[in-house]
Structure 1
C-alpha cells in the first residue's frame, strides 16, 4: 500500500494544475499539467499579497535530519514559485552565525521570510533583528522542534507549502523577553560559545530542569541523526539521575517553591504532533502558560499524560497556570554550581548561566511595540 502524499493546486490565472508529491521513500516531486480542476484541488485565484513583495527563503540546512535526501526547496518550492511567477531570494546557512548575521543586516520593509527550519532558526532571526520594519514570517517545518508550525496547524512540509500560497491572513507574532544574569552564554553541544549581552526574546518556549536538559543533551552529532527520537534517547539518559533543580518561582506576590523536576513557560499548544503540553495555549494570542511539577514524582507517568491529549493538566501534582500580561515573573536559582542546574532552553537554543551560587531571571510579556513582526496563518 502506497504511503505517498499529494496536494493538488489549481492556479486559475494560468489554468494550471500542479501536484506536490512526497513519495513513500520521503523524496519530493512536482508535476504540472493543463488538465481540468478537480473537487479536491486547492484553488488559487491570485498570489497572496505577502508573496508579491520582497520574499526571502532561509534554509537552515542542519535542521532536522535527512535533508539531503528530501530537499523541499529544490524539488518543490523553487519550481512551484517559478510556475507562479513568485520572485524570491534563497539564503542557505553556512555557519552557526549565518541567520544572526543575515538578520542584523536586514532592512527591507514589507518583506516575507520563509523559514525551512525548526523553531531555533526563527528565534535566531528575531533576536538578531535591528530593524522595526514590517516583516511577515512563515515556518515550513524542517527541524526536530517545530512547535511554531504545529501551533498554526502545519504538520508536514508539503501541507505548509500548499497552505502558504493559499493563505490570505496574517497576525502579530508575539515575542516574550528574558532578562538573564550578566555573563550568561550560549551552549552548543554543551560547549560554551558566545556571551549574551542583552535580553533575549522567545516565541515558543522558555524551559529549565528536565525539559531543558533533554534538549541540551540531545544536541550531539550522534543523536541528531535520529530526528525527533533523539529527545526520547536523551530523556532516558537524564532519568538515570535524580531530577532535582533548586529554585523558586515568583509570580507577583505568589511564590511557588522548588525544587522542580519540570519547568516550562510556553505560548504553544504542542511541542510534537501528539505532545500537547498546553491544551489552552494559542500562539496567536499574547498569552503564556506555566507547566511545572516538583521533584520526587514519576516524570514519565506525567509525560504519558501529556501525550494523552494533555491530560496532565488534570493531575493535582502538575502546576498549570496562565501568566497574564502585567504579571511580574522572577525565577530564583539556587546552588547552581553544576552545569545541568543552570542550563535553560529558549526556543531550542541552550543557554547557561555563569558559575556562581545564586541567580535571578525575569520573564516579561511585552506589548511588542518595538517589533513589527507578523505570522502568516
Structure 2
C-alpha cells in the first residue's frame, strides 16, 4: 500500500509551502507542491532567501536514474521549478539522458559568478561523471571560483548521499532553501592505470565479488529485473566464479588472496548497507576492505551480509577480514597474468564505472597489474565543496 507523507519545505512571510509525497516500498511514486496562508509571518525572512540570489544555480536532473521520471514523480518539474518561480530564484535546468551528456555539461561549465551551486537529482555515477569531466586546469586556490554540489538521492544505491546523512530529497532541499546546509570540503582520489588512463573517485574502487556483481548486472538479461537482479547475479557469481584474486596491498610484499576487495571512502554503499562503518565521507582516508578467498562460501556470504547490521564506528576486523585505513598515496597490484586467469578476474568497479585491467594496459608492453592510488589536494579549476547537514 502506498504511503502518503506531508513534508514542510519552507515558509516565506505568511505563506507556508510543503510537499506531499507518495511512496511504496521505499520508492517515491509522486511529489506535489502545496501551499497555504498561515495568517502571520513566520519564520523565514527575505534576507534568508537572498543568499541564493547572488549565486548561479544549476539543477542537473539525470532523468534515467533510479526508477526514471514520470509526470507524478518528477521532482524537478513538480517541486523545484514551481518553488523557484514563487521565490523568484533564477536557475538553469538541465535534463540529461546519458553519461555523455553529463560529461559535456561538466566540460563546458564556466564560472559566471563567484559561487555556482549544482543540485543533482541523480545517483552516484552521474556525480562521478560530472566531477571527472570538470576543467582540470588548477589555479591558485585563493582565486578559484566556488562550486558547491547538493546531491539529492534519486539513484539506486545513493551511497554518497546516505553517507552524508541526506536521506530524503524533500527535507534536504528544504534545508537548502532555508540556508541550513553548510559547504564542506570532501576528499577525492585518483586511480591511475598502466596505459595512463585516470579516474577520480570518492566512494569506492572494487575488485572481486562487488566488481563482478556490477559487471554481470550490465548484461541485457538483467535489465528488466529491478533490484532482484542483484540477488540472481550474486547467486550466479557464488556458484560459478572462482573468487580468488591475488593482490599486493599496501604494507605487504607478497600477495594476499581475496574473494572481495574494495577501497572505500563512504560507510554506506546503499541506504541500509554499511560495509565500512569506520569510513567518513568528509575525511581524506580510504579503508582497504578485503574478504579472504580462503573463506567458505557461507562464511563469505556472512561477512558480506554483516554490512546490513553494522553500526557507525564498528571495527569489523576478524579472521578472514582485512580492514585498514590509509591516508596517503599507495599502490594496488594484481599478482597474476592476464593469460593465466579468466577475464572476470580483472574486473574493476570505480564509483559505478565498469573497467577491466586487461583493457587498461600500455600497448605493446607486458601485462602490468599495478593501480596507483593518489590522494588529491587540488582538483579542477573550481574550489569544490558539498552542501551537507553533517
TM interval, short-chain normalised: 0.7 to 0.9
Match in the other structure for 1:119: 124
How far did 1:220 drift?
A: 4.5
TM-score by length of 2: 0.83
Query: Within 5 Å, which residues of 2 pair with 1:98-117?
Result: 98-108=101-111, 109-117=114-122
CA distance in 2, matches of 1:280, 1:247: 25
Match in the other structure for 1:376: 387
How far did 1:227 drift?
A: 4.2
Residues 1:315 and 2:343 are matched in the alignment = no
Match in the other structure for 2:185: 172
Match in the other structure for 2:49: 47
How far did 1:332 drift?
A: 2.9
Between the two proteins, the alignment pairs up a number of residues equal to: 357
Query: Within 5 Å, which residues of 2 pair with 1:139-154?
Result: 139-154=151-166
Match in the other structure for 2:289: 291
CA distance in 1, matches of 2:55, 2:233: 43
Structure 2 CA distance for partners of 1:247 and 1:82, relative to 1, 3 Å: same
Give the secondary structure class of the aligned counterpart of 2:131. Answer: helix
CA distance in 1, matches of 2:2, 2:241: 45
Give the secondary structure class of the aligned counterpart of 2:249. Answer: strand
Match in the other structure for 1:339: 343
CA distance in 1, matches of 2:119, 2:246: 39
8 Å Cα contact 1:173/1:374 also seen in 2: yes
Match in the other structure for 1:17: 16
How far did 1:316 drift?
A: 2.4
CA distance in 2, matches of 1:245, 1:163: 46
Q: 5+ unaligned residues in a row in structure 1: which ranges? A: 183-196
Give the secondary structure class of the aligned counterpart of 2:345. Answer: helix
CA distance in 2, matches of 1:296, 1:324: 28
Residues 1:365 and 2:389 are matched in the alignment = no
CA distance in 2, matches of 1:229, 1:79: 36
How far did 1:150 drift?
A: 0.5
TM-score by length of 1: 0.86
Q: 5+ unaligned residues in a row in structure 2: which ranges? A: 139-144, 360-365
8 Å Cα contact 2:99/2:126 also seen in 1: no
Match in the other structure for 2:211: 212
CA distance in 1, matches of 2:38, 2:108: 45
Q: Deviations over 1:222-244 (max 9, x none)?
A: 53444444333322221122342
CA distance in 1, matches of 2:53, 2:344: 44
Residues 1:202 and 2:215 are matched in the alignment = no
Output the aligned Cα RMSD.
Answer: 2.5
Higher mean displacement: 159-168 or 26-35: 159-168
